[in-house]
């Protein structure tokens, strides 16, 4: 019997808003270190956690630590509508991402052309782990690309649970609600990884220690960022965070980690006010991950972060 060839690795484009070494960075490392499962064709950067110009610099430190350098392009430096001034009218926010920082000088953006050309050349799965500005823009410019995106896996939104930046909205959707609404209303095949399932994947000091105990370029970045910046486990041992982008990456690498998926008809609130960026009932069918084997997701993350030099 001729052995079946291994399943071909899924062709993947990653759109992210990486901080110095944020959950985006961990998700990117997980994908780069899973070549049998995903072939990373490129990474595009969008403003969110930090301004895209800074994220574009930070992500290259992640590539150097892994020893792999995928194509990387600077994308949307500003959301479609939301501005720093608007964010300041939404009350004191614990976290406002890039809006809380001085905006760097604008640079030339090449991510949109890269994504359109890549998708025209060959369909791909797109892992979107930041605000959806880049994705909304290319779908607006070339709607037919919706058929070239085999599946858009989105970390974002809060469907039946509270938000994490305002009471109503999850950060990625809050940072650019108009983009999230446009993507929801496009015909692209969407898999949503919202706070509803991410909240089940709690990360504590014990988890942090399993990674930080190793001494490699990647685990040193992890220890510095998750230990001293956010959530600051080295100074706040009782701190907690969740698997956000990391869980979305784990679901792309091994879709069997999802244990409950429901199709919901959804939309995103774009009226400026207390529910700006909230997920609400609508007309667009979205496959929503509501349950996952979070133990397996953590075990995958731990293995992929601690393997290698
Ligand atoms: O709400 C979590 C999301 O916001 C993650 O993508 C994290 O990186 C931040 O962008
Ligand atoms: Ca992110």
Measure Cα distances from 78 to 20, 49, 107, 208, 288 in Å.
19, 12, 11, 33, 27
Which residues of the chain register pLDDT less than 50?
Answer: 1-5
DSSP letters for 200-220 = TSEE-HHHHHHHHTS-SHHHH
User: What pLDDT, on a 0 to 100 scale, did the predictor assign at position 295?
Assistant: 98
User: What pLDDT, on a 0 to 100 scale, did the predictor assign at position 172?
Assistant: 99
Ligand 1 atom nearest residue 23's Cα: 8
Kind and range of the H or E run holding 259: strand 258-268
Average pLDDT across the chain, whole number:
96
Phi, psi of 260 (to 5 degrees): -150, 125
Kind and range of the H or E run holding 261: strand 258-268
Phi, psi of 287 (to 5 degrees): -80, 120
- Residue closest to 306 by CA, chosen among 203, 166, 229, 212: 212
Ligand 2 centroid – CA 293 distance (Å): 21
Instruction: Output the residue whose Cα is nearest ligand 1's atom 1.
Output: 171
The overall pTM is greater than 0.95: yes
Q: Ligand 1 in contact with 269 (CB < 6 A)?
A: no
User: What pLDDT, on a 0 to 100 scale, did the predictor assign at position 308?
Assistant: 78
Q: Ligand 1 in contact with 180 (CB < 6 A)?
A: no
For the 5-306 domain, the top CATH level (class) is: alpha beta
User: What pLDDT, on a 0 to 100 scale, did the predictor assign at position 309?
Assistant: 75
Query: What residues does 126 pair with on adjacent strands?
Result: 13, 152
User: What pLDDT, on a 0 to 100 scale, did the predictor assign at position 217?
Assistant: 97
Ligand 1 atom nearest residue 170's Cα: 1
Percent of the chain with pLDDT over 90: 95
Q: What ranges do the domains of the chain cover?
A: 5-306
Q: Ligand 1 in contact with 15 (CB < 6 A)?
A: no
Ligand 1 atom nearest residue 172's Cα: 4
Q: Which ligand is nearest to the CA of 155?
A: 1
Q: Of 17, 96, 196, which is best to mutate to test ligand 1, by the most ligand atoms within 8 angstroms of its C-beta?
A: 17
Tokens of 270: 């774009």
User: What pLDDT, on a 0 to 100 scale, did the predictor assign at position 3?
Assistant: 41
Ligand 1 centroid – CA 11 distance (Å): 23
């Amino acid at each position: 019997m001729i052995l079946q060839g291994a399943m071909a690795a899924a062709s993947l484009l990653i759109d992210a808003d990486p901080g110095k070494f944020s959950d985006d960075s961990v998700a990117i490392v997980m994908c780069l270190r899973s070549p049998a499962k995903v072939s990373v064709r490129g990474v595009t950067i969008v403003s969110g956690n930090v301004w895209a110009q800074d994220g574009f610099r930070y992500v290259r430190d992640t590539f150097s630590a892994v020893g792999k350098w995928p194509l990387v392009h600077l994308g949307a430096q500003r959301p479609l509508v939301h501005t720093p001034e608007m964010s300041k009218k939404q009350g004191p926010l614990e976290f406002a991402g890039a809006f809380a920082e001085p905006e760097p000088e604008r640079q030339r953006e090449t991510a949109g052309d890269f994504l359109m050309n890549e998708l025209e050349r060959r369909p791909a799965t797109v892992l979107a782990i930041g605000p959806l500005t880049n994705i909304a823009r290319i779908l607006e410019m070339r709607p037919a690309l919706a058929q070239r995106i085999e599946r858009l896996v989105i970390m974002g939104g809060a469907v039946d649970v509270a938000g994490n930046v305002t009471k109503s909205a999850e950060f990625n959707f809050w940072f650019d609600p108009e983009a999230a609404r446009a993507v929801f209303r496009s015909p692209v095949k969407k898999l949503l990884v919202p706070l509803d399932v991410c909240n089940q994947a709690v990360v504590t000091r014990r988890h942090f220690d399993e990674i930080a105990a190793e001494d490699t370029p990647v685990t040193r970045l992890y220890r510095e960022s998750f230990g001293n910046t956010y959530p600051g486990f080295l100074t706040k041992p009782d701190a907690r965070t969740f698997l956000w982008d990391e869980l979305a990456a784990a679901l792309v690498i091994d879709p069997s980690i999802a244990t409950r998926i429901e199709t919901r008809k959804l939309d995103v609130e774009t009226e400026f006010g207390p529910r700006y960026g909230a997920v609400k009932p609508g007309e667009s069918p979205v496959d929503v991950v509501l349950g996952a084997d979070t133990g397996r997701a953590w075990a995958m993350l731990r293995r992929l972060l601690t393997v290698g030099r």
